Every structure is written in structure tokens, then in C-alpha cells.
Amino acid sequence: MRKIGILTGGGDAPGLNAVIRAAVLTAQRQYGCEVVGIRSGFDGLLKPNGLVELSPAVVEDIHDKGGTILGAANRGNPFARMVMRDGEEVVEDASQEVVARIAELGLEALIVAGGDGTLAIARDLAQMGVRVVGVPKTIDNDVGGTEMTFGFDTALNIAVEAIDRLHTTAESHQRVMLLEVMGRDAGFIGLHAGLSAGADIILIPEIPFSYQLIADEIRSRLERGYPEGLVVVSEGARPLDGEQVFSRAADGLALPRLGGIAQQAAAWLEQECRVETRTTVLGHIQRGGTPTAFDRWLATRYGAAAVRLAASGSFGRMVSYQGGRITDVPLEEALAHPKRVDLQGDAVQTARDIGICLGD
């Protein structure tokens, strides 16, 4: 193996730089292999100045930095690429161009760090003959075929700190505080953070909630002498017989933007329970900044494992974390079923055991 490429697609996640560093060091030290960094996801293969040589010196000490030195692109799908034709924006399939560019560059493997959208592109390119290895990335932890994606632990820790901080001000002012966290259609951030920080109510996408029930819960707390409350709301949560709340519609290239459910729940609780509420939307604070030790540890192991996998000639696969060990699974299998909170699992059971209301 003499030359491989690496790119980071979709939204960023803490730990991306640790993956890049480990991949470059492993490739160089173990295989004497050159690594080409592709900027802005797959777009870097189609644009001028889209490539950067990644030597060990370039990646020195980047493991503790958030973001990605290669840049991310959550609209960079080569199968549906926005281009200008005769002064008009049109969507075109540029996948053949990408395949040809990879061959022209002499890349013997392409390491793709991304969430389910980016990994689906990698799988489709693999079907066109590109030798890809996937690395599961996302704060949402919703990629199938692995117990953990890197980025999740950092987002979780930030959410826990936010709830802890809301707790003290909720007590001082006797308010019900709602925190909206990310996660798209998966409730891992909401459930894990709410459990860890002692929320009173946790609303996740996997469990449609009853407005009546959450009002009953707050009223019961008031009757028991607890005038404050902490409610963690996943951005993808939805009421029974209701829909998810979006702050922006899809536009053909990008997914619709979730946001606003916590504010709606807050308005309902104020009106029904006569309590004062405040809503915090944690947003991209969950994605930025220094990765936790766990995310660096996981991302570094993923980066090295991805290069080993490429060197062994195992393509169309994704590195994966199972039972504390790094292994790998076919991309097809990882993408077959997005991961969701297991309603029969011990985390949901524990929440119920200790009296957290899940809205059902």
C-alpha cells in the first residue's frame, strides 16, 4: 500500500482529528504509505485545491482539537451535486467523476469518516469499485453495526454539564427548565444525559410522549413540594398523535432541520401547571471543542484500525466497537438498520426504575 486518501464528511464531531492523526501515523510508520487528505468531504475530489498532503508533521498534536483539519461538508453528496449550468443551479450525479479522480490520484484505498449519510455514499462508491473503509462518526450515536460512534461521549458530557448548571438556577428561581439536545431521530444524547444528570422528565424520539402525562408529572412534583423541574427534550421527540418540530424544511440537498419541540412543551407546561419555565437549546455547543478522553481513545483506535483494514485488503467495511474491542462489519450491514434507543434495554428500564418520567 503506497498511497491512500482520507476524508471527513457530514457534520463535524469531536474526535475527527484524532482519527486523521492515527490513520496518518499508522500508514506512515507501519506501511511507509503516503496519505492524501481530501478537503470538504467528497467535494475535495472535484474542486481545485481540494487535496492536502498529510505527513506526520502536519498531524502532530491535532488529536485534542475539535472540528476537522480537512473541513466537513454536509451537502457534499457526489451522487446529487449542486452545480451551475447556464446560470442556473442544477443537481447532477458526479459519482463517475469521483471514481475517475480517485483512480487518477492512484489512491489504493479511501478512508471515509462519517455518519450514516456519508457512509451510504461510501457504500455506493464501493459498489462502483472504489476501495473504501468507513469510520463511524456522529454525536448522535445512531450508526448501526457499532456500539459507539466517536463524538457521542463529548456531546453527552456537554449535555450533562448543561443540565447540572440548569439545576442550580432552577432551584434558586423555582422554575421548570427545559433543555433541548441534539440527536436527530435517536434519543441517546437525551436519555444518557438525562439519566446521568438526574432529569425529572426525558423525552426521546423513540417514545412519543403524552402532553397530559408530562403536565401530571410536573403537577405531582409541585404537590410533593418540588417547585423546580428539569426536562430533557431530544430535538426529534414528538407528542403522541403529533409530528416532530422543524425549524427549517428540507431543500432537496439537505435534511430538514429539527428544532423547537422543547419550546412547545414549555409553553404547554406553563399554561397547564401555572409554573414558570425557561428553555435552553444546547445546539452546536454539543459538537464543538475538545473531545473527551473516551472519544480520543476511540477515534485513535478507529483511525489505526481503518488503515490496518485497508492494508489487509478488506474493503466495503466499517470499523466498529463491540464489547470493548475494535472489530469491523460490512458497510451494507451497518447501514441496514440505523441504531435507536432499545426500549427493552437497561437504560430505559433504569430511567423507569428510578422514577424518571419518559412521557408515556
Positions annotated as catalytic residues are: 140
Instruction: Say whether residue 41 binds ligand F6P (CB under 6 A).
Output: no
CB of 194 to ligand F6P, least distance (A): 16
Class of residue 78 by CB neighbours under 10 A (exposed 0-12, middle 13-18, buried 19+): buried
Stretch near ligand F6P under the rule CB under 6 A, chosen from 96-104, 136-144, 290-298, 343-351? 136-144
C-alpha to C-alpha distance for 19 and 282, rounded to whole angstroms: 26
List 43, 140, 228, 328, residue binding ligand F6P (CB under 6 A): 140
Instruction: Say whether residue 185 binds ligand F6P (CB under 6 A).
Output: no
Judged by DSSP in three states, 68 sits in: coil
CB of 190 to ligand F6P, least distance (A): 11
CB of 185 to ligand F6P, least distance (A): 9
5 or 151: whose CB is closer to ligand F6P? 151
Instruction: Say whether residue 285 binds ligand F6P (CB under 6 A).
Output: no
Give me the phi and psi of 92, to 5 degrees please.
Answer: -130, 155
Class of residue 246 by CB neighbours under 10 A (exposed 0-12, middle 13-18, buried 19+): middle
Residue 72: half-sphere exposure toward Cβ, Cα within 13 Å: 23
Nearest to 114 by CA among 81, 70, 168: 70
List 9, 11, 187, 205, residue binding ligand F6P (CB under 6 A): 11
Instruction: Say whether residue 217 binds ligand F6P (CB under 6 A).
Output: no
Task: Give 11's contacts (C-beta < 8 A, 6+ positions apart).
Answer: 72, 74, 115, 138, 287
Residues 303-342 that bind ligand F6P (CB under 6 A): none
* Strand 201-203, strand 229-234: pairing: parallel
Instruction: Say whether residue 28 binds ligand F6P (CB under 6 A).
Output: no
Instruction: Say whether residue 156 binds ligand F6P (CB under 6 A).
Output: no
Residues 75-134 that bind ligand F6P (CB under 6 A): 115
* Strand 51-53, strand 34-38: pairing: antiparallel
Q: What is the largest CA-CA distance in the chain?
A: 71
Residues 220-279 that bind ligand F6P (CB under 6 A): 235, 258
Stretch near ligand F6P under the rule CB under 6 A, chosen from 33-41, 177-185, 224-232, 333-341? 177-185
Instruction: Say whether residue 154 binds ligand F6P (CB under 6 A).
Output: no
Give the chain's length: 360
**Which residues here bind ligand F6P, judged by CB under 6 A?**
11, 74, 115, 138-140, 182-184, 235, 258, 287
